[in-house]
Amino acid sequence: MPKISSDTLWELASAEVQSREDGTGAEEDGGVDPVSLNERTVFFIGNKAGGKTTILLRCLDRDEPPKPTLALEYTFGRRARGHNTPKDIAHLWELGGGTSLSDLVQIPITAQNVRSLSVVLVLDLSKPNALWGTMERLLQTTRTQVEKACSKPQRTVESKAGSKQQAQNRSPRVLPKDHPDRELINPFPVPLLIIGSKFDIFQDFDSEKRKVICKTLRFISHYYAASLIFTSSKSESLMSKTKSLFTQLGFGTEKGKSMSSDLSKPLIIPAGMDSLSQIGSPPTSDVDIGTLHAKNPLDLWKKVFEVVFPPENTSEHHRELKDPAKDPQYSEPQIDSMRAQKDTELDQYKRNVSKSWKGLELET
């Protein structure tokens, strides 16, 4: 007969938090931390207006119109594994604004969830000139935060040996020891899925341009040990295959066997299923590689890609959007009108103060 306690709900909650911080609790009795088994975090990043929200809603089977993402948004999905079993939970974060708000990655990526974290990078195939810059900036910022989170000491049950082993098992070890590319790639520290969106527009591109984009994304995905898929919200078949890859990350389902590396069709290449020999060298029909000074293979592919698709000058755009209140997609007419009025009053106040200081005769 369990002892009946008169503790209040608040006291019980406080005790639970304390037990987790002390590293005690469910695991003391030989049990397994349910959070580590049933909960995962998936972080969506990518081009602004690149289709992240649409893809996320379709993967969750939510029939609702997508809305512009306001800075950083959170939702979740649940999936039953079987009868009378706890449901798996996927915590889903989406970063809006493209690269302009990349500093916000520190919110969804923490020491507490990094061992169960996956990243989905959505790249807009219809805007190839922004593709490399978006990919490079977001992956660099995300990797830095992941490594920072991994280096932080754990004060919870996650610091125990079993949890450390699970964290190691989550590393993207997708290449066997005898794979010829094993020493030539730089796997992303957490599982990574790269989605090329708006394939319906991309398929009408010139064949040579499509070839450059396809081969480049194959190289990038293989270099980071990521999975790659091209999709379109207008294709149920492609969205179904995209959802399959998403559920692997969000709910731990078995890996699918679909694969397509035909450059004339939507690419579907699971992590570890490609190779540098199959990808080939950078497409350089209009580029003399001898004139390019590259530090490494990734830098070489970047230089070749940017010859064909010169990067956009986004520095001024980033400065303008550093403050989301100035982004037209978040406009609120009544609030914006009041803000403009207050800004005008503030400017007037500054001018009056300036005049009053100029009129003062300071004693010498």
In the chain, the domains with their CATH numbers are: 39-152+178-314 (3.40.50.300)
Tens of pLDDT along the chain (364 residues) come to 444 444 556 666 666 656 655 544 444 444 444 444 589 999 999 999 999 999 999 999 998 888 888 889 999 999 887 777 788 999 999 999 888 888 999 999 999 999 999 999 999 999 999 999 999 999 999 999 999 999 877 554 444 444 443 444 344 456 777 788 888 899 999 999 999 999 999 999 999 999 999 999 999 999 999 999 999 999 999 999 999 999 999 998 888 778 999 988 999 999 989 999 999 988 876 666 666 777 888 999 999 999 899 997 755 445 445 566 666 666 778 887 888 888 888 888 777 777 666 655 554 4
State the pairing for strand pair 192-197/227-230. Answer: parallel
* Best CA proximity match to 160, nearest among 57, 26, 355: 26
* Residue 225, both tokens: 């040990």
Q: Which residues of 168-184 are buried (b: 16+ CB within 10 A; e: fewer)?
A: eebebebbeeeeebeee
Q: Could you give the dihedral angle defined by the CA atoms of residues 132, 286, 184 and 171, in that order, rounded to the nearest 10 degrees?
A: 20
Q: Which helix (H) or strand (E) holds 73?
A: strand 72-80
3-state secondary structure of 95: strand
Strands of 106-239 (E only): list them.
117-124, 192-197, 227-230
DSSP summary character for residue 230 = E
Instruction: Read off φ and ψ for residue 117, nearest 5 degrees.
Output: -95, 145
Residue 90: φ, ψ to 5°: -110, 120
Distances (CA, A) of 260 to 107, 152, 266: 35, 40, 7
Q: State how far the Cα of 244 lies from the Cα of 221, in Å rounded to an integer.
A: 18
pTM above 0.85, yes or no: no
